[in-house]
Homo-oligomer: A and B are copies of this chain.
Amino acid sequence: MSKFENVTVLKEASVYFDGKVTSRTVIFPDGSKKTLGIMMPGEYEFGTDMAENMEMQSGDVEVLLPGETEWKAIPNGSSFDVPANSKFGIKVHAIADYCCSYIPA
């Protein structure tokens, strides 16, 4: 199984949407950050500060990316990019396990 070594993990969870979305923060030796998260079924809108790469590990989701008008399915094992300071929509049809990488400007 894929793993992250020599990292720092924050003990407390981040909790959004009444717990339907939760994540754990992982800090890498170079200072970069990823979150490992779970999204329960539902529809959500997220805003970004930094640019993000969202990798879907399992689940069934569609996303509406900034500037797009069509929802797009994201197969497991693939990812999508979201620009900094933007918003995206996500429909979670089956519980999703994701890894979000924050991309420094």
Contacts and interface: CB of A to CB of B under 8 A. Distances in A.
A36 interface: yes
Interface stretch (A18-26, A67-75, A83-91): A18-26
Main secondary structure of the interface of A (DSSP, over half): strand
A83 to B, nearest CB: 24
Interface residues of A, number: 28
Contact of A6 (B8, B22, B24, B57): B8
Contact of A4 (B2, B3, B8, B99): B8
A55 to B, nearest CB: 9
A9 B9 CA distance: 8
A36 B23 CA distance: 10
